[in-house]
């Protein structure tokens, strides 16, 4: 068996094209959806993510703006940046790029985002609405995964789902979305006993724990659908040879690094029925859903 590739990049492209019509309709009413990003510090990965998000906005005719603060900024200064976006009518969505440098209080910052502009779905009010199955905005990565499953015709109702990871950004909202879609959900984490056995219960396995290649063939029930949320940078040649498909090794040798997921794709692809690639799987969907949430926020205020 070779797993079907669930192409997140292609799905994200489709979502963006669908958004063009909505954005054009808003433009006829004089509304241009606007995303305001708060970026603190000099984390290269965070800066790259922000550039990709604002570039995606501009490609669709949206407004993308980034307010950069130094790593020395206080929590109060970051809150002030958020509140400045809260009151601007041309900014419909606000994104605080995480993680924030220590010792900043990320929760205090997120609590000050206007819930109606919280397109990342992390404000306590929006989390609570999701728990009650009355969502306004849902965290973009889990929402993107649900879009991917739906567009590939992968049924969730009645299935056993295992979510590996319990973060506020992915694990917890993912579990809630699957539960609301009538899956029977188990959340696993670093303290789960006999993790491979727990994962093998899954018809649908979502790996979001942040450890390169953790999920192996022995974690996966034959025929399961596997969603790989991980994005780990590998620079060691020995690790690359162990974690990468041989076809990716020339590119690794050229660049000196490779991005790999939490799933050991070479072994899991031989037992799973479907698998998201890394890169090109969940990542593009996260950005597409951020854009979708921002357009929805603009429509709600127009």
Q: Residue 226: which CATH number?
A: 3.40.50.720
User: Within a domain: residue 24?
Assistant: no
User: Within a domain: residue 71?
Assistant: yes
Specify whether 41 is located in the same domain as 156: no
- pLDDT digits over 149-180, tens only? 999 999 999 999 999 999 999 999 999 999 99
Q: CATH number of the domain that 47 lies in?
A: 3.40.50.10860
- pLDDT digits over 81-127, tens only? 999 999 999 999 999 999 999 999 999 999 999 999 999 999 999 99
- β-pairing, 34-40 with 63-69? parallel
Do residues 138 and 172 touch, judged by C-beta distance below 8 A?
no
**The pLDDT value given to residue 302:** 80
Q: Which of 7, 63, 97, 262 is catalytic?
A: 97
DSSP 184: E
Do residues 69 and 81 touch, judged by C-beta distance below 8 A?
yes
Cβ-based neighbour number of residue 7 at 10 Å: 18
Nearest CA to 121 among 108, 130, 112, 134?
A: 130
**The pLDDT value given to residue 39:** 97
Q: Which of 7, 53, 118, 172 is catalytic?
A: 53
Specify whether 150 is located in the same domain as 255: yes
User: Within a domain: residue 81?
Assistant: yes
**The pLDDT value given to residue 1:** 65
Alpha-carbon gap, residue 242 to 62, rounded angstroms: 42
Q: Which two tokens stand for residue 186?
A: 């188990």
Specify whether 157 is located in the same domain as 80: no
Nearest CA to 117 among 144, 91, 96?
A: 91
Cβ burial of 300 (10 Å; 0-12, 13-18, 19+) is exposed
Q: Which of 7, 114, 118, 120 is catalytic?
A: 120
Nearest CA to 139 among 158, 153, 118, 154?
A: 118
Phi, psi (5° rounding) for residue 157? Answer: -55, 130
**The pLDDT value given to residue 45:** 85
User: Within a domain: residue 161?
Assistant: yes
Catalytic site includes residue 97 = yes
- Which domain does 97 fall in, by range? 30-114
Question: Could you give the number of structural domains in the chain?
Answer: 2
pLDDT at 211 over 80: yes
Catalytic site includes residue 132 = no
Mean model confidence pLDDT for the chain: 96
Q: Is the dihedral of CA 223, 164, 177, 231 positive or negative?
A: negative
Cβ burial of 151 (10 Å; 0-12, 13-18, 19+) is middle
Specify whether 169 is located in the same domain as 256: yes
Specify whether 95 is located in the same domain as 146: no
Crossing angle for the helix pair 124-131 and 171-180, to the nearest 10 degrees: 30
């Amino acid at each position: 068996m070779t797993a079907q590739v669930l192409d997140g990049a292609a799905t994200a492209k489709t979502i963006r094209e669908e958004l063009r019509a909505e954005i054009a309709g808003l433009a006829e009413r004089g509304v241009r959806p606007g995303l305001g990003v708060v970026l603190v510090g000099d984390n290269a990965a965070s800066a790259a993510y922000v550039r990709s998000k604002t570039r995606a906005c501009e490609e669709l005719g949206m407004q993308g703006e980034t307010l950069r603060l130094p790593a020395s900024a206080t929590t109060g200064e970051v809150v002030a940046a958020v509140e400045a976006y809260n009151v601007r009518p041309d900014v419909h969505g606000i994104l605080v790029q995480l993680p924030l440098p220590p010792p900043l209080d990320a929760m205090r910052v997120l609590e000050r985002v206007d819930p109606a502009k919280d397109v990342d779905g992390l404000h306590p009010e929006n989390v609570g609405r999701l728990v009650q199955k009355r969502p306004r905005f849902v965290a973009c990565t889990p929402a993107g995964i649900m879009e991917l499953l739906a567009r590939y015709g992968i049924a969730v109702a009645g299935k056993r789902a295992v979510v590996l990871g319990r973060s506020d950004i992915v694990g917890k909202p993912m579990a809630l979305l699957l539960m609301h879609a009538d899956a029977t959900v188990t959340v696993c984490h670093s303290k789960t006993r006999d993790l491979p056995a727990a994962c093998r219960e899954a018809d649908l396995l979502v790996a979001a724990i942040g450890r390169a290649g953790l999920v192996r063939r022995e974690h996966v029930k034959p025929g399961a659908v596997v969603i790989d949320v991980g994005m780990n940078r590998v620079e060691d040649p020995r690790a690359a040879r162990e974690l990468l498909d041989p076809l990716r090794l020339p590119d690794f040798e050229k660049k000196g690094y490779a991005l790999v997921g939490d799933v050991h794709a070479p072994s899991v692809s031989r037992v799973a029925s479907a698998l998201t690639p890394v890169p090109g799987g969940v990542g593009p969907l996260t950005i597409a859903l951020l854009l979708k949430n921002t357009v929805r926020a603009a429509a709600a205020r127009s």
